[in-house]
Chain A
């Protein structure tokens, strides 16, 4: 069997990749994708811990994380569409003014 620590390491690496993506990319859609990577890393931790404790709670929290991710993606992409309509750009550096 695979030790719990290995799952946690994979989860940590994925989370770090997601964080790096949020900081380094200059594209709103890629930033949202990086957030999805981070949420998935957390999901993997939840399921691994739940399995290691012998309960289903980890899977249920994962289910809630997925629904929240769906809501976040819907609202985030709506904001991206609205921003793109005003500026014709996806670069977050283009949105520096508070009002247009």
Chain B
């Protein structure tokens, strides 16, 4: 029972914080709320016997990627959305393209609900199959990662190198010639 209660609490925190992320005008608050949402998600990962993913979520996402976002927001010093110039109306009441976008998002929600209703074994409890110690240990994750997925792992390192070079090239100030 406490498991179920914790699941609902952390799910509610994750969903609520994510809703507030897209409801904020100030990106600084959005980033803080997103970190809250990531914390709740990592609690859900722990409930799913995935402590490695939970820690990576905290360290990589909340610790590194979000700090990168915070850094850019502070660097640009543009805390507010340009609301006065374009629109002060609520996004859902805006005409034209935005309403079309909201409609697409609603359509996606309907589709997801429809797909979820057709999942036959959705009622089956997770954790029925497999040995918990075997799945949750970092040792077994590492073994599969460096044997079955070693090519993808190496390709990822190249991807990160390319991303680093690309970020430096894009963000570098153009020299005056």
Which residues on the A side are within 8 Å of B126 (C-beta)? 1-4, 7, 48, 51-52
The 23 sampled A-B contact pairs (Cβ below 8 Å) are A4-B123, A8-B119, A8-B122, A12-B112, A15-B112, A16-B105, A17-B18, A20-B22, A21-B22, A23-B98, A26-B86, A27-B27, A29-B72, A33-B27, A48-B48, A51-B48, A52-B124, A54-B130, A59-B52, A60-B144, A70-B64, A81-B76, A84-B76
The distance in angstroms between the C-alpha atoms of A16 and B104, with both chains bound, is 10
| B101 CB → nearest A CB, Å | 3
Flag A55-85 by CB within 8 Å of B: 1 or 0 each.
1111110111011111111110111111011
Q: Is B102 an interface residue (CB 8 A)?
A: yes
Pick the 5 closest A-B CB pairs, nearest first: A54-B130, A23-B101, A5-B122, A1-B125, A71-B163
Other CB < 8 Å A-B pairs besides A17-B18, A74-B166, 19 of them? A2-B47, A3-B124, A6-B7, A10-B14, A13-B15, A17-B21, A20-B102, A26-B87, A34-B21, A37-B34, A48-B126, A51-B126, A56-B141, A66-B57, A72-B163, A77-B167, A81-B75, A85-B173, A90-B76
The distance in angstroms between the C-alpha atoms of A16 and B47, with both chains bound, is 23
| B19 CB → nearest A CB, Å | 6
Which residues on the A side are within 8 Å of B85 (C-beta)? 91
Task: Give chain B interface residues in 116-159, CB to chain A under 8 Å.
Answer: 116, 119, 121-131, 135, 140-141, 144-145, 149, 152, 156, 159
The distance in angstroms between the C-alpha atoms of A43 and B101, with both chains bound, is 24
Flag B31-71 by CB within 8 Å of A: 1 or 0 each.
10010011001001101111011001100110011001100
The answer to whether B112 and A47 touch across the interface, beta carbons within 8 angstroms, is no
Given B121, B144, B162, which contacts A4 in the complex, CB threshold below 8 Å? Answer: B121
| A86 CB → nearest B CB, Å | 10
Interface size class, chain B: 35 or more
Q: Is the interface of B mostly helix, strand, loop or mixed?
A: helix
Residues on A close to B: CB < 8 A?
A: 1-10, 12-27, 29-30, 32-34, 36-37, 40, 43-44, 47-48, 50-60, 62-64, 66-75, 77-82, 84-85, 89-91, 93-94
Beyond A69-B61, A70-B160, A82-B171, whether A33 also contacts B56 by CB under 8 A is no
Q: Is B108 an interface residue (CB 8 A)?
A: yes
Beyond A19-B105, A23-B102, A91-B82, whether A3 also contacts B15 by CB under 8 A is no
